[in-house]
Copies of this chain bind each other. A is one copy, B any other.
Amino acid sequence: MARIPLEERRRLLIAATLTVIERDGIAGATARRIVQQADMPLGALHYAFENVEDLLAAAADAVTDNERLAAERGLAEGGAAPDLTDLLVAGMERYVDLLKARPGHELAFLELMLHSSRARLDAPPAPGRYEASYEVVAALLAQAADAAGAAWTRPVRELARHTVSTLDGITTTWLADHDDAAALATARFHAHALTALTTPA
């Protein structure tokens, strides 16, 4: 009978949920499978969360709050190319590599996001779902332009949303056709489209 603080138990359950969804899809994310993955008894779930739907919502928030941001931050690592286009192309290509390496991971993100977005279809004005993503990507774009000695001709926040949208599109399209080369081409196309919106600083 492991005694675990409530908050920590919630964290563990959310992590287990993400693992299950990556493996079995959101349709396979049942209460029993989640607690088995977390190595907990069934009752533990309803002690930590009101119901399964609440757990899924918490998992969706965790994805946009943490998991996804970590991946996005990783896109900028490494290369210190002086050319802005090269920088952006490299970042985009890195995302495609990440997608190919763990397709179930990205698929899980999308499944969770769509699932939670359905609940609020005819509902309140969206909360800050993708907000954190936009800000992380905006910081990356600003930093890239800086490193290359260029300046954006549009607000980075706006460009960040375009970029996030682009990454989502690359993901769904690749999941549909599994065409690696085409995904890279699409990634490069968007990278070039972005650099068209800069001027030498």
Contacts and interface: CB of A to CB of B under 8 A. Distances in A.
Contact of A130 (B103, B121, B161, B177): B177
Interface residues of A, number: 44
Contacts of A110: 110, 114, 172
Nearest to A120: B178
> What is the count of identical protomers in the complex?
2
Contact of A126 (B27, B121, B178): B178
Given A161-B186, A193-B196, A172 B113 contact: yes
Contacts of A178: 125-126
Nearest to A133: B176
Contacts of A117: 107, 175-176
Contacts of A185: 158, 161-162
Given A115-B27, A117-B107, A170 B165 contact: yes
Contact of A129 (B125, B176, B190): B176
7 closest Cβ pairs, A-B complex: A169-B169, A193-B193, A165-B169, A126-B178, A165-B173, A168-B172, A117-B175
Given A129-B176, A164-B173, A167-B169, 20 more contacts: A25-B115, A26-B27, A27-B27, A27-B115, A110-B110, A114-B172, A125-B178, A126-B176, A126-B177, A130-B173, A161-B173, A161-B177, A162-B186, A165-B166, A165-B172, A165-B173, A165-B186, A189-B193, A190-B193, A193-B196
12 contacts: A103-B121, A104-B121, A110-B110, A111-B114, A113-B176, A130-B173, A130-B177, A165-B166, A165-B169, A166-B169, A169-B169, A172-B172
